Structure 1
Amino acid sequence: MTEIVPVSGPELVTYSDELAALMIEAVEAGASVGFLLPLDREAAAVWWRERAAAVDAGSQQVWIARDDERVAGTIGLARAAMPNARHRAEVAKLMVRPSARGRGIGRALLTAVERSAAEQGLSLLVLDTETGSDAERLYRSAGWTPCGSVPDYAADPYGTLRGTTLYYRALGHPETSAP
């Protein structure tokens, strides 16, 4: 059974090696999540550990999907910093181990983020993903709205420039007390 749980900054540090392994597997399988091949395991672990302070500060959140005590997936949420944008956040780094794909883990992670964002008073989520990717199909089927694409936006793990499609998801009206 897969369990989706938010992680604290110290927990993120604890999980950093396992998240690094997940990231490497995802990138090796072609996931365009900001990294190029070959991806060094220690560099990937450091990347995760560097997020701990932002998680503790509340500007970022990270969830993991645990499947039989193993991290099967992850997703992040980055709060907008500017005062006029505190009603929105960016979904980032949705990754599922290739061996765990096709079991609804990605959708469960996305649903957990959407639910948490709404509970926090956020009314708008945004994300970007490689045009034509499996991730894009997930976002469309989950009700996200495409709002444009940019050609040659980012390199895939092999260094080839690919287009990126931007998506948004309206969650409702912002609470007047949203931070």
Structure 2
Amino acid sequence: MRDRTDLSLSWLPCPEAVSEQLRAELTACWRDVANAGGAVGFAQQLPVTDDVVRAAVDDTVAGLGAGRLLVARRDGELAGWLLLTTNADPVRAHWGRVTRVMTALSARGSGAGRALMTELGRAAREDLGLDRLRLRLEVRGGTGYEAFYARFGWQVIGRWPGALAVTPEDRRDELLMSLTLTEAPGAS
């Protein structure tokens, strides 16, 4: 296992903060994770190409402002990333959505995923004052990902049976997950 102390994390709040080099690194990471069978989209397009993934990266980066990109680096290399999206609507401003989480294949087992999830909880609670997070990911049932998230306090609060067609023959439940960051006043 690699030394966990050489990991650096940085939040990027706007499209201008994402360099062309980082866009290329995000594209390569997302492509590699998808092609390795990760639950990160493109399931019916595998093997996915850089052109297809780059368009998704560009859409993700364009949406920053309503969201913040957290990037993990080890020895200057991209180790992982996630996307946290907040709500401008005052009725929903107390919670955020995590819409992407992935670690580079070369960083698996290095603590990058743990560092991303730990910083996510800290920043959502302390910096943004959020009460709750929800995963707006296609968390595929039957993959064991729910156990990873449970280690950080996430709970499965529901599921959409058969909502995800990984292939035409492979339908999975979409898991609905939530993380309580603070006690919400008057929550029922």
Contact 1:122 1:174 in 2 (8 A): no
Alignment of 1:93-108 (within 5 A): 93-108=100-115
Aligned-partner residue type, residue 54 of structure 1: G
Cα RMSD after superposing both structures: 1.9
Higher relative CO (Cα under 8 Å, sequence separation at least 6) belongs to 1
Give the TM-score normalised by structure 1: 0.86
TM-score, normalized by length of structure 2? Answer: 0.83
Deviation at 1:41, TM superposition (A): 0.3
Q: Give the Å deviation of 1:43.
A: 2.4
Larger Rg: 2
* One-letter amino acid matched to 1:47: A
- The equivalent residue for 1:164 is 174
Could you list the runs of 4 or more consecutive aligned residues of structure 1 that deviate by over 3 angstroms after TM superposition?
none
Question: Structure 1: which 5+ residue stretches go unaligned?
Answer: none
Q: Contact 1:13–1:48 (CA<8 Å) still a contact in 2? A: no
SS in 2 for 1:89: strand
Change (3 A) 1:141 1:29: same
Percent identity between matched residues is: 29
Other-structure match for 1:47:
56
Mapped contact 1:4–1:65 kept (Cα < 8 A) = yes
In 2, the alpha carbon distance for the partners of 1:9 and 1:111 equals 24
Amino acid at match of 2:16: P
> Is 1:4 matched with 2:9?
yes
Distance 1:155 1:93 in 2: 18
Find the counterpart in structure 2 of residue 67 from structure 1: 74
Deviation at 1:59, TM superposition (A): 0.6
